[in-house]
Structure 1
Amino acid sequence: MKRHQTILEKLAKEKHLEVLDLCEILNVSAVTIRKDLRSLEEKGLLFRTHGGASLENPYINEKAIGEKEKISVEEKNGIAACAAQLIDENDSIMIASGTTVQALSKFIKPKHKLTVITSSLYVVMHLIHDKNIEILQLGGYIRHSSGSVIGSYAEHILNNISCSKLFLGVDGLNLDFGLSTTNLEEAQLNRKMLASAQKIIVLADSSKFGKKSFAKICDFDQIHELITDKGLSQILKKKIEEKGIKVTIA
C-alpha cells in the first residue's frame, strides 16, 4: 500500500513520527493512521508508541556503561564539546551520570577556579588531576552498571547546595512521558539535582528521542536547554522549542 510506504519512508528520515503529523501529511483520519501503524507493527516494520510510531523499540533496557560508551561515540563527543562552552569562569556546576555527561568531563579545561558536584565516579577520575577544579563527590551506594552513586546520603548533601548549571544525561526523551532513566533511585537523585540548580541543560544524542524508560525524571517544562546532534528531526526540534526549551544542535 502506498500509504504504508510513505509512512516507512518518513520514519526512516525522522526516526519518530506522531499520529497527528501523519494525518496531516497523508490527509486521512487518526483512526486510519492507527490501523496502518498496527498493521506495520504486526509485520515487524515499526514500533507503535503513545501517539505515534518509532523505528526503534521505545522501551529501554538497562545496559552497562562499558556497552553504552560504544554507542554514538562521535555524536556524544560533539555534544559534550558544545556543552563545555557553556561553563563560565569561577562557575559552580553539577554533572549527573551517563556516558554523554561523562564525555563532557573530558572537555572541561578551566583557566580559573571551577567547582564540580557530581554523582559519577568516572567524571571524578577525568577531572581529579586538574588543580583548578574543586570536586564535591556525592556519596552513597555505587551502581556498578553506571559507576555512579544513588541513595539518601547523596540526596541529603544536595539539600544544602545550590549551583548555576546541571548537566543531565537521560536514557529516554518522550514528548508525553518526559525525561526518564532505567533506575528509580537514580531518577529520584536526578530530581534533587534539578532542585539544586538554576539552569538545567540536558545532553542527549538523537537515538534517545521517542523512547521512555522505567523511571521518570521530570517533564520537559522543567528543563531550559537541550544539546543533541543533527539526527534530531526538524518536527521534534520544533515541538521541543514550542515548549520554551532552547535546542542546540552540536
Structure 2
Amino acid sequence: MINIAERHQYILNKIQVNGSLDVQSLCKELDVSSVTIRKDLKLLEDKNLLFRTHGGATLNNPYTVDKPVNEKEHLQSAEKVRIGTLAAELIEDNDSIIIASGTTVLALARCIKPKGALTVITSALNVALELVHHSNIEVIQLGGLLRKSSSSVTGPYSDNVLGNVFCSKLFLGVDGIDLEFGLTTTNAFEAHLNRQMIDSSQKIIVLADSTKFGKRGFGRICGIEEVDHIITDSGISEHTVKHLESMGIKISII
C-alpha cells in the first residue's frame, strides 16, 4: 500500500491530466476507502491545490460570483455572438418564446431578425430594448424587482404572468452547469424565476459558453435532465459532451 505522500502525488498528477476526478474511481485505483480519499482531498484543498466538489474534485474553482452585466458582456464575447447567431436560427415564424437574462441571451436578441410575427416574453430590460425596434416583434416585459447587476427583474409579478402563458421555447442563460448539481445562477430569486420560465415552456434551450461547465452558482435552477438542447463553444470537453448526449440532450458546438 502506498503512503499518504505518494497518494497525494497520484491525485495531483491525475487531476492535472483530467482537470477533475471522482472519489469512487480513486478508491478503486488506490485501494483505499472513500473516507481516506475525502480526507486527502480536504488536505489538498487546504493547500489550495484543488477544489472539492460533490463526489470528487476539480482543478478550477467551481463556484461562480455575481458580476455586473457590463463586465460579463466582455467575457467570451466572440463565443457569445456565435452562440446567439446559431440560437436565432431556431426561432420560427409566428413563434412565442421566452428569453431569460444574461449576456449570452442578449447576444441572441441582437441576432433575431424574424421575417414573420414573433412574441417574446423576457425578464431582461436590455433584451426588451434590443427587440422593441422590430415592428413585427411583440415584446412582453415581465415586471418586478430590478436587479441592477443583471438588468433583469424577479419577483411575484413575473410569476403571475408566466403562470398564464405557454411558449414553444425558452432561451436560458446560466452561470453554472454542473453534471451532478444541474443549472445554476448566482441569485436565488433569479433561479426561482428561471424555474417558472421552464414550467411555461415546451423546449428548454441553454445558451452557455464552455467556461460555464463545471461551475456552480448559489441558486439552483433545475437538473440537467430537464434541458433539451445546449448551444456552446468548442472549449467543452469531449467527456462532458458524451455524458450530456447519453442523457438525450442535443449539443450544438459552434
Establish whether TM, by shorter chain, passes 0.5.
Answer: yes
What is the match of residue 66 of structure 2?
62
Once residues 7 and 188 of structure 1 are traced to their aligned partners in structure 2, the CA distance between those partners, rounded to angstroms, is: 34
What is the match of residue 88 of structure 2?
84
What is the match of residue 250 of structure 2?
246
Q: 1:56 to 1:160 in 2, by over 3 A?
A: same
**Which residue of 119, 136, 146 corresponds with 1:132?**
136
Q: 1:151 to 1:52 in 2, by over 3 A?
A: same
Q: Return the letter of the residue paired with 2:59.
A: L
> Which digits, 9 at most, give the CA deviation of each residue in 1:158-214, with x for residues without a partner?
111111000011111112211111111111111111111100001111111111111
What is the match of residue 73 of structure 1?
77
Partner of 1:60, secondary structure, is coil
What is the match of residue 221 of structure 2?
217
> Which digits, 9 at most, give the CA deviation of each residue in 1:40-96, with x for residues without a partner?
434323212112222222122211111111211122112111111111122111100
Structure 1 residues 1-250: aligned runs within 5 Å: 3=10, 4-11=12-19, 16-20=20-24, 27-29=29-31, 31=34, 34=38, 37-250=41-254
Task: Answer 1 or 2: higher relative contact order, Cα 8 Å, separation at least 6.
Answer: 1
Once residues 43 and 193 of structure 2 are traced to their aligned partners in structure 1, the CA distance between those partners, rounded to angstroms, is: 40
8 A Cα contact 1:7 1:22, kept in partner: no
TM-score (norm 1): 0.90
Once residues 135 and 202 of structure 2 are traced to their aligned partners in structure 1, the CA distance between those partners, rounded to angstroms, is: 25
Unaligned stretches of 5+ residues in structure 1: none
Partner of 1:109, secondary structure, is coil
Count of residues paired in the alignment: 244
Unaligned stretches of 5+ residues in structure 2: 1-5
Once residues 75 and 175 of structure 1 are traced to their aligned partners in structure 2, the CA distance between those partners, rounded to angstroms, is: 22
> Which digits, 9 at most, give the CA deviation of each residue in 1:201-229, with x for residues without a partner?
01111111111111111111211111111
Once residues 246 and 18 of structure 1 are traced to their aligned partners in structure 2, the CA distance between those partners, rounded to angstroms, is: 25
Partner of 1:44, secondary structure, is coil
Q: Return the letter of the residue paired with 1:9.
A: V
Once residues 188 and 110 of structure 2 are traced to their aligned partners in structure 1, the CA distance between those partners, rounded to angstroms, is: 28
Once residues 20 and 78 of structure 1 are traced to their aligned partners in structure 2, the CA distance between those partners, rounded to angstroms, is: 38
Q: 1:22 to 1:84 in 2, by over 3 A?
A: farther
8 A Cα contact 1:143 1:150, kept in partner: yes
Partner of 2:94, secondary structure, is coil
Q: Return the letter of the residue paired with 1:213.
A: G
8 A Cα contact 1:174 1:209, kept in partner: yes
Partner of 2:90, secondary structure, is coil
The more displaced of 115-124 and 203-212 is: 203-212
TM-score (norm 2): 0.88
The more displaced of 137-146 and 31-40 is: 31-40
